[in-house]
């Protein structure tokens, strides 16, 4: 079963995909935003092409956990995906993901220009990997495989 992870920004959508065992997330693509309908169609095409069973969308909550303006935009996008996709679409807390992605890229000695080009994809990888890891932990704690 494959999962798709999305880091939805105002200009780009970073995309990551899990392996078939839902263990490891890797970067897939970056979608340049052109408009809500076309953006949803682009994600739907990736879901079909990669035989994805579930889509995980990073939800940028505020530090106190509240839903701010950017999170509301993402939730509107989630609603658009849910209207089109036949697979579950799960919002996932992504606080600090972009900062973590930048830190990883800086530590990897990626140039400033290079970071700009891949930060959304790395953020999507971190979002999806966090989700996959939490599913494994829940499954281990309950003594059964994750759902």
pLDDT above 80: residue 43 = yes
Q: What is the pLDDT of residues 84-128, one digit of tens each?
A: 999 999 999 886 666 666 666 566 655 555 556 577 888 899 999
Reported confidence tier of residue 4, pLDDT bands at 50, 70, 90: very high
User: Does 81 map to a domain?
Assistant: yes
Q: Is residue 135 part of a domain?
A: yes
Query: Distance (Å, rounded) from C-alpha 51 to C-alpha 74?
Result: 23
Q: Does 66 map to a domain? A: yes
pLDDT greater at residue 111 or residue 44: 44
pLDDT of residue 49: 97
Taking only the tens place, the pLDDT of each residue in 5-30 is 999 999 999 999 999 999 999 999 89
Residue 35: its pLDDT value, please?
95
Mean pLDDT of the chain: 86
**pLDDT for 59-75, tens place per residue?**
998 878 889 999 999 99
Domain presence at residue 136: yes
Asked, for residue 57, whether it belongs to a domain, the answer is yes
Domain membership flag for residue 147: no
Average confidence (pLDDT) over 40-48: 98
Q: Indicate the number of domains in the chain.
A: 1
Whichever domain contains 25, its CATH number is: 3.30.420.140
The residue range of the domain holding 126 is 2-142
Distinct helix (H) and strand (E) counts, the chain: 4, 5
Contact 109, 43 (CB under 8 A): no
pLDDT at residue 94 in the model = 84
Separation CA 34–CA 147 (nearest Å): 34
- The structure's pTM equals 0.84
């Amino acid at each position: 079963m494959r999962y798709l992870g999305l880091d939805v920004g105002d200009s780009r959508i970073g995309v990551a995909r899990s392996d078939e065992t839902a263990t490891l997330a890797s970067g897939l693509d970056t979608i340049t935003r052109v408009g809500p309908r076309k953006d949803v169609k682009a994600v739907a095409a990736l879901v079909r092409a990669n035989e994805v069973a579930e889509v995980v969308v990073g939800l940028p909550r505020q530090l106190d956990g509240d839903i701010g303006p950017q999170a509301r935009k993402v939730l509107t996008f989630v609603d658009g995906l849910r209207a089109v996709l036949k697979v579950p679409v799960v919002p996932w807390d992504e606080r600090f993901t972009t900062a973590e992605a930048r830190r990883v890229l800086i530590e990897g000695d990626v140039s400033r220009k290079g970071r700009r080009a891949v930060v959304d994809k790395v953020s999507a990888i971190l979002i999806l990997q966090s989700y996959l890891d939490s599913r494994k932990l829940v499954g281990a704690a309950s003594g059964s495989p994750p759902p």
